[in-house]
Structures are given as structure tokens and as C-alpha cells.
Amino acid sequence: MDSVKVGLLGFGTIGGGVADILINKADQIAAATGKRIELVKICDKDLTSDRGVAVPDGVLTDDLSQIMDNPEISIVVELIGGIEPARSFVLRALQSGKDIVTANKALIANCGPELFDKARELGRTIAFEASVCGGIPLLSSIQTSLQANTINSIKAIVNGTCNFILSKMEEDGSAYADVLKEAQKRGYAEADPTLDVNGSDSTQKLAILAQLAFGAKVDWKQISRVGVDVVDAVDVKFAKELGRRIRLLAIAERSSEGLVLQVCPTLIPETSALAKVTDAVNGAEVVGDFVDSVFYQGWGAGRRPTASAVCSDVIDTALGRTRITFDSLRLWSAERPGVDVMDAKKICGRAYLRMTIEDRVGVMAQVAAALAAHSISIESMLQPTKASSSDDCTSLIILTHEASSEALDAAVAELDSKSFVRGKTIRLAVRD
């Protein structure tokens, strides 16, 4: 039987799961696919920690050249994470004639064009299913199963940490800070959770989806982004009263003015499939012109689901399916057809605004006037019961009709400059 040799860079949580599959399921995979896949080297600086998987003698090394300079290794799995040194290692592996499998969304979102061009130049391939929604075969669906469709929209929960926080706040009315602490205790959130909770992680994944499904080339840092770190218990409560749930949605959607890209905590109807995704789970709704709506749900991260996606890519690469997909799609290349991305300022939608205002006669009228001055029409305005009657301030919640991001930005800036507005106005999205 044919055999394919694999080298693994990075032996952390995911690396342990990948090793578990490639070592302990080698016979099963060979029997099922007719191809023997051998994990021959794992490179990591840490040679001693227990990763919960027994590795044969001589496999674990801290010497990178044992993978890079081993001509027998044809597939390199990159599980280091982050941009450097992952980028340099991937470039070196490509130069050494190896195909790449990676779970690294930061690397693909930031260096996709460079790495894919280099791979094409060298006749190699890159597979990256695990970089977005590990447990959901979302990328392969878009790349192959839905390939006869024009994709019209993707609305997705791509960050499990944020979904855990939002659904936990919803479940027991907890404050954001308390839930974040619990997420960290459970290992769902990192010690520094910034990139998750400020929406950066979701935005990087959205940039990848935008290229795959729409051929859009976009710098993720240019995408309109709001994180869950602005969401307060009162927002969750209000959404509930409106028959809605708040989910951090990454949205890519065709419009007559280009591709709308947006990451924002969004009030969606409680009956929608995405609203029903709770816990540290991911979900995605893809709408194609022929298939209509397809919905997926599964674990977005974690050792075993991510390892499942990585190893599927390893098998696809070993069997040659990755080669066909890679060559036909020409991702991030100049030849790949794609749509233009709409200016984030021009994106229109309904908004949820929450501000803290002085509790006196005439203030609500001034808020309404400020919005009207920017042509923003109000759908409803709610003033929750104050926590304490001695408080001279009160929350004010406003649902607007459709308005451009530009107009909302300007209106919010104007409002925030008023003496009767305390702190900063929070702005979430509203979608049906």
C-alpha cells in the first residue's frame, strides 16, 4: 500500500489531537481510504509535557530541520498559530517541496495571497479547513458541495468563546465580566481574551470566507467590527423582550453596491436557527441561489473537533483531492473571479442603540432630534425602569429603521458629545 509521510509543527492542544488520530487511527484510515498515512516527526520546543498521546520513540524533536530537510515527508501540518514564525516555517516547507495543512486563521487571513502565490509557484498545495469552524465542514462545503451555486450570503457564528459568553448571559442574566471569567475557568477563553471578545478572530475568519465564497480580497482590519465586549446584561434582557437573541454574527452578503462584510453582536429572531446555537458552538447559514438555505452547527474549536478537520485535510492532501481543489479554485490569485467589497461606511441596516442619558424632561426629544438630523428614523424607543430612583441617569434604548453606517456613526458621535449623554453609546446590529 502507498504510504505518505507527515511532519507536524506544534505539539499543543490541537497537535495532540492530530497525533492521536494519525498515530492511533493509522490502520483504520489505511483500511478506509487505501492510503497509509504516517506521522513520522513532530517538532516542538517542549519535549517533555504530556499531551495525552503516546508518541513512538524518535518522532518528537525540537530540531525543525528534521521535518524541513526530510525529503520523505511530503505533508507538513502547521499548528503553531499566529503569524510568525508560522509564516516563515510554511514558506520554508513549501520551498522544501511539501504540501501544507494548517488550522491557522490568522496566518491565512493575513498572508493568504503571499502563501497561495508561493504554493502555486512551487507546485504545492495548502489546505486550511480547520481555520474556520473546526467541527463544521464549512470550507469544503463552499469549495465543493455548493460549487454550482452563486453564494448570496453567509451568516455565521465563528467564535465559540463569544457564543458561550452571549448564551450564558442569556441563560442566567449574568454580567459580561462574570461570564468571561467562567469562560476562562472552563478553558473556553484564553488568559488574554482580547482577540476573541473584540471580534478580531471572527473578522479574520470572515475575511477567509469572503475569499472562498465570493472571491473577495479583503484586509480583515478594514472590515466593520464590533465585539461582544460592549454587550451588557441589559442588552441581552432587552433583546429577549423583543423576541430576539444576541449573537456575534460574521456576515458576508451580496448587495447591489458590493459585498457587505460585517462582524457585530446582532439581535436576531429567537426562532432563527442561529439564535438556537448556544454554548461554545459554531453555526453557519449559507444561502445559495439554487440550494437556498443550508444550515450547519458543530463545535468550532477544541482539540478533537479541530483535529478531525486537520486530519481530513491531511487525507485529502494525501489522496490528491486537495490538489484538484487548490488548482481549480486559484484562491487569492488574480485570475480568480470575485466581487468588490462595499465600503463599510455605506453598509445599511437596522441598529440597536443603548445610551445613558440624564433623566430629565426634554432629553428624549433632543436624542430624537439628533437622530432625525442624520435622517435616522426611529422604530421604537424604550426607557427601562431605573435600577434606583435616586439615580439621575437612565438607560435609553433605541431601535432604528434602516440607516447607513456613516449616518449612524455621525449621529452617535454627535449624541456622545452632548452633555446629557454619559459615556459612549453602544451600537449593535438588528437583522431578521
Q: Which stretch binds a copy of itself (CB under 8 A): 98-106, 161-169, 246-254, 287-295?
A: 287-295
- Which residues lie below 8 Å from residue 77, measured CB to CB, with a gap of 6+? 6, 7, 8, 9, 18, 100, 101, 102, 310, 314
One of 4, 21, 393, 407 touching a copy of itself (CB under 8 A): 21
What angle is formed at CA 170 by the lines to CA 167 and CA 176, rounded to 5 degrees? 80
In the complex, least distance from residue 300 CB atom to a copy of itself, rounded to whole angstroms: 11
SS3 232: coil
User: Which of 333/404 has CB closer to a copy of itself?
Assistant: 333
Task: Give least dist CB 17 to a copy of itself, A.
Answer: 7
| Window 35-74: contact mask with a copy of itself (x via CB under 8 A) | x---------------------------------------
Q: Kindly state whether residue 420 participates in binding a copy of itself, applying the rule CB under 8 A.
A: no
Residue 26 makes contact with a copy of itself by CB under 8 A: no
CA angle 430, 402, 339 (to 5 degrees): 85
Q: How far apart are CA 130 and CA 133, in angstroms?
A: 7
User: Does 149 contact a copy of itself by CB under 8 A?
Assistant: yes
DSSP for 249-266 reads EEEEEEETTEEEEEEEEE
Q: Does 265 bind a copy of itself (CB under 8 A)?
A: no
Long-range contacts made by residues 175-181, C-beta under 8 angstroms, separation at least 24? 175/232, 175/233, 176/228, 176/229, 176/231, 176/232, 176/233
Q: How far apart are CA 286 and CA 173, in angstroms?
A: 31
Q: Is 330 in the site for a copy of itself (CB under 8 A)?
A: yes
Question: Would you name the residues annotated as active-site residues?
Answer: 205
| Total count of residues recorded for the chain | 432
Residues 77-136 that bind a copy of itself (CB under 8 A): 129, 135-136
Q: How far is the CB of 37 from a copy of itself (least distance, A)?
A: 10
Binding mask 303-322 for a copy of itself (x = CB under 8 A): -xx-xxx-xx-xxx--xxx-
For residues 36 and 16, the answer to whether their CB atoms sit within 8 Å is no
Q: Give contact residues for a copy of itself (rule: CB under 8 A).
A: 17, 21, 25, 28-29, 31-35, 129, 135-137, 140-141, 144-150, 273, 276, 288-299, 304-305, 307-309, 311-312, 314-316, 319-321, 324-325, 327-330, 336-337
